[in-house]
Structures are given as structure tokens and as C-alpha cells.
Amino acid sequence: MTQQQSNSIDEKNNSALFQNRNQESDFIAQMFPIFDSKDKKLTEFLYHNSNLQKIRWIWQILSFLGDPRIWLFVFLFFGVYGLYIKDLTYITLFFTGFFQSFVIYYIIKNLIKRHRPFKQNETIIRLDSTGHGYSFPSGHCHHSTILYGLIALIWLPFWSIPLFFILNLLIAISRIMLGCHFVSDTIMGIIEAYIELIIFWWVTKIFYLNILYVIQSIIF
């Protein structure tokens, strides 16, 4: 056997092991193999699209707009602002809205245990410093939907929500183009976040605010 043939066999074996290892705990691949296959093919098609590749710097900017670390600045700003005006309503809305939705998001993420595209497809390279842990649903899509959704609900007219939805879709595309997520990861990240946003705003928000008003009557 020649060295070239040996290398070819090794590459095939490594590729098979690479794929099998990452599908062992992949719930979607096991339960919905046809959907999973089409999802991954579409993801690969978009990722390698030459026109979309030319503007990767735009995708990196959009991806940053969905970075969960932005929440740290939100908490800090509204925390200080709330203490200054002696009204913690804003920080309470953002804090409880974030963590209530995060619990559900985290549970889904660790139940599905889907590995990221760059761990399942050798032709996809992660082009972003984020993208750790499991892939489904997308954290950037989830967190940006909750954040900008709350901003729209608190301060902006109702018709502004579709504008933020467009931003969510652009962030979703950015996560695909940076090799961090499959298409279905981003779509479900947006959908489940909107469901959780609706539950928070129209069901559980009043519970948190009532607790806040009691606390504020004591400390302020």
C-alpha cells in the first residue's frame, strides 16, 4: 500500500469517526434524521455561499449585537440608574425577563445536546470567538430576541417589534455564516424566545413587579 493510499484511508476513517462521535448524543439526528440531513445541507450551502462570504465582517458585527455579554452592560446601567432614581423597575424587568427565559433555554440546550456545525462538518470553520457548548437552540438568537423584545415592549410603539424581528433574522444568518449554528438552531432560538417573552410580559411580569414594590417600600 502506498503512502498516498494510506493517507486517504486515514482521512476517511477520521472523517467517519468525526461524524459518528458527534452524532452519538445528538437528539435531532437520532429522532429526525431526514430533517437533520436537510438542515445540515442547507447550513453548509449558506456557509459556503460566495456572495455571503464576501461580507463576513458584517456578519461579525451583527453577531456581536446578539452576544449574551451585552446583558452585563444592561444590568450594570439600569442597576446604577435605578439606584440613582430610587426606582428599580427597569432593572427588575430586564433581570427577571433574562433569567426566567434563560432557565428554559438552558434546559432545552442540555436536553437536545446537539453539537455545533464546526464539530460535525470538517468543511465548516468557526469564525467567531463565541460558539461554545451545545448548538440547539442558538443563544445569540435567544438572548437578542429577549433583549430587543423587552426594549420594544417597554419604550417603543408596538409596530416597532417587526423591525426587531428583522434584526433577529440578520443575527440568525450571522451565526450560520460564522460556522456556529445550523439553520434550525437559529430559527428555534427565535421562536422559543418569543414564546418565553410573551409568557413573561403578559403572565409572570406582574408577579415580579409586585415583589419589587414591596421591597422598594422598605428600602427607599
Residue ranges of the domains in the chain? 27-219
- In tens, the pLDDT along 99-123 reads 999 999 999 999 999 999 999 999 9
CATH C-level class of 27-219 = mainly alpha
Length of the chain: 220
CA angle 28, 31, 37 (to 5 degrees): 60
pLDDT of residue 31: 86
For residue 24, what pLDDT is reported?
Answer: 55
Helices in 48-127 by DSSP H: which ranges?
50-53, 56-65, 70-85, 89-112, 117-120
- pLDDT given for residue 7 in this prediction: 40
Taking the model in full, what pTM does it have?
A: 0.85
pLDDT of residue 146: 95
pLDDT tens digits for range 198-220? 999 999 999 999 999 999 888 88
- Per DSSP, helices labelled H in the chain are 3-23, 27-31, 33-47, 50-53, 56-65, 70-85, 89-112, 117-120, 139-155, 161-177, 183-199, 205-219
Tell me the mean pLDDT per 10 residues along the chain, length 220. Answer: 44 48 68 92 94 92 92 93 93 95 94 92 89 91 94 86 90 95 96 96 96 90
